[in-house]
Chain A
């Protein structure tokens, strides 16, 4: 019997589920291996009986925790897809601010009608079995993770920095170009895609497990950058991981 899979979304842009739709012809192949029982973005049917749950988006409200716990109860395997689900993502930018002020800025006098708390990754609420990092996820990496899960293996996630891939790709280092890049502390697996396209690493895959902070400081001093430069960039995606909660 084909494993049953379901997709769910919380606070996020649904760009990761879009990458699944973007598999196009490969999606048809994948559909030969699994049965999709719930995927609100593209299908009307819904079923609570599933083996693998893919969850996109972060949890940003107390009221959403029950839905997450229910998914955990129903599923044998829970996979967090995309930065919002794996590390809190860009949503955690608001964690640096006073949340009452945040609500006030957006909803004015009606602020009290709209609940919010510090944005957090899915594993802050429920145990997660596998991660597909990135903003957005890479569709081929998603396929690899699904393949591993179907074979009963734990998917491999790199635990070295983006610099390793970036050097292999022979990019000119962003620091040598006078820009600040968080590649030295960011988890690889993206094949340094943003630097390849002429920009910098923004940190969307989150911090590696043991970031080399001393070497990061050396880079800052070497290139005459300030701690403020670093903190500013770290805030983009690392809010939850840096303890802002």
Chain B
């Protein structure tokens, strides 16, 4: 293999623990005489075996345990877990609780996306190693990012009790709900944040020099006729169309690679991508007007095959989530909040069964699948994490990208590859918790 200028060169890159990502991942690249001999994206993170740990546990504990898979997307894990348990037991939730859960999910998407763009990506764009020096060099921008992050965290507190490992989300609904007064105050903050979000978008637009790279791939996520699908929907692929969520295993097809404690997934091609860009590509039409406006600032249109633009799709989703949260609060205000008893707990009729819960969390589609016996004890669990679904796509992107950037210095190549990994916003401690195998 030669680079685009026809040079034959040697290059070895070893990145032990890519920084500013959640969890531990390594990059290894070896180019000899212009030939890419090895390119590996490997995960050495210690596995935690959640799927084995929940076996033998009661239906009313699973959401508490599986929330601990991930500190950043614990609301998403809790919701996927509750949906799986509720599907297995035939429990339905009220319209009000559904709206509150959608607000919980928006709060987490906001928190996670703002953290990623503001703390993890912005330093690359401004040429520094972390957000810390930016506090002195760009105080206004850092303060804007911090205040948006605080708003998202306080939104989680109001809806779920706290932002990490939320307490109020329980089977059948909520143990405690916010007051209308709290929601109205939240609505005002959301409204006030719109101009800050536009300012961040403009800042990113003026500094973002993402590589002009494109590799066609398949995008998978939830889709819905009613809304930009996050909490619920059908499975969708840009290659093969839609399917019911319960058919998820025919989409994910997980497999093990010896270099990684994290599994990988593939569907219609050798790999696929999930996350903000996948959702954007599948559901652009359902974005709120402000979401579309932010996409317009960057000229982002579906179907975009540049993985670096996942960062921008996250920005678009920040705008969407704020605007959609305002809409949800308005709806709750119009109908009025129906009060519920303190320490609320549903009387649930326990029965044997299986259920799948799929939710779009910050990094993509997440599946929890549980089987319970007649006593409500879990006998089998399977969880498929967004980042696992992306690992294969990351490595194939690297293989396609390296020949195009061989004219750069090794340091620049390394930084570009790290930026590629960061664009996916991988959540590695998540992905090593789940590795699932088909039972024989």
Contact = CB atoms under 8 A, between A and B. Distances in A.
Interface of A: 9-19, 21-22, 24-25, 28, 31, 36, 39-46, 57, 60-61, 64, 89-91, 93-94, 97, 101-103, 105-110, 113-114, 116, 135-136, 172, 174, 177, 179, 193-194, 197-199, 202, 232, 236
Contacts of A199: 167-168, 170, 175, 343
Residue from B17, B19, B261 with most neighbouring chain A CB atoms (10 Å): B19
Contacts of B49: 94, 102-103, 105-106, 116
B343 A198 contact: yes
B30 interface: no
A12 B70 CA distance: 8
A113 B47 CA distance: 11
A135 B68 contact: yes
B64 interface: yes
A232 B58 CA distance: 9
Nearest to A17: B71
B119 interface: yes
A22 B163 contact: yes
Nearest to A36: B132
Contact of A43 (B72, B132, B149, B438): B132
A94 B19 contact: no
Contacts of B61: 236
B38 interface: no
B406 to A, nearest CB: 23
Contacts of A110: 256, 258, 437
Interface string B22-56: 11100000000000000000000111110111010
Contacts of B175: 197-199
Contacts of B162: 193, 197
B256 A107 contact: yes
Given A10-B46, A22-B153, A90-B68, A44 B343 contact: no
A13 B70 contact: yes
Nearest to A45: B129
Given A19-B164, A43-B132, A105-B55, A236 B48 contact: no
Contact of A193 (B17, B22, B69, B167): B167
Nearest to B438: A108
Contacts of A102: 49, 52-53
B55 A21 contact: no
Given A36-B132, A106-B436, A198-B342, A61 B52 contact: no
A202 B68 CA distance: 13
Contacts of B437: 105-110
B334 interface: no
B337 to A, nearest CB: 15
A43 B165 contact: no
B243 interface: no
A25 to B, nearest CB: 6
B72 A135 contact: no
A22 B438 CA distance: 38
A208 B284 CA distance: 53
Nearest to B44: A63
A41 B22 CA distance: 6
A22 B120 CA distance: 14
Contact of A177 (B24, B174, B258, B343): B343
Interface string B156-173: 000001111101101000
12 contacts: A14-B70, A18-B71, A25-B150, A40-B24, A43-B20, A44-B129, A102-B53, A106-B436, A106-B437, A116-B49, A177-B345, A193-B161
A16 B58 contact: no
B123 interface: yes
B115 interface: yes
B7 interface: no
A31 B142 CA distance: 14
A198 B23 contact: no
A21 B131 CA distance: 11
B91 interface: no
A13 B74 contact: yes
B165 A136 contact: yes
B214 interface: no
B435 interface: yes
Interface in B327-362: 342-345
Nearest to B343: A198
Interface in B93-126: 115, 119-120, 123
